[in-house]
Amino acid sequence: MAANEQHYTLDLPSFDQPVKILIVVAPYYKDIADELVAGAKATVEAVGGTWDLVEVPGALEVPTAISIADKLSNFDGYVALGCVIRGETTHYDTVCNDSSRALQLMGLQGLCIGNGILTVENRDQAVVRAEAKGQNKGGGAAAAALHLIALSRKWAAPSKGVGFHTDAIKLAGQPDESKKA
């Protein structure tokens, strides 16, 4: 049974500068969403980060809300939360695939997103995965976003500053006038 299997998880990263996370949740199954959010909040707070929380109607709206926030706000990363339980129609496949694909495409464009939208066969599977004291998939999604933020900060180009630099002259093959007496 998957609930009993142990998985390796990375230690949470540490940050020199504060981290600001937007948690976007679709509370269609409110009790499950509340557990996911609790886990995400605790994980962000564990690294000294801050979070804002917004609710959207469903899993398909989560990526759109993140995209809007990325254009209009200043978050370092995003946590996508919700739950999709298989029903009697193929709508399940559409919601699961399209929400996941949209989040992945934004991630490939450089957004730091942890995907905690559960895609399960039944409510029991969702509860096991959502519980903050259980599998804590909300906390795992927050940890994923935090790790991506840490990588983006690590690999960010150092600021070149503004104005004229003598290094630019050297690169252009011109003599460095500052060393002439």
Catalytic residue positions, numbered: 91
Query: Beta strands 20-25 and 113-120: pairing type?
Result: unpaired
* Rounded (10°) angle between helices 30-46 and 123-130: 20
Task: Name the H helices within the chain.
Answer: 30-46, 61-72, 91-108, 123-130, 137-155, 166-171
What residues have CB less than 8 Å from 80, skipping those under 6 apart? Answer: 24, 62, 63, 66, 99, 103, 113, 114, 115, 116, 117, 141
**78: helix, coil or strand?**
strand
Closest CA to 107 of 77, 134, 128, 129: 77
Residue 83's beta-bridge partner residues? 118
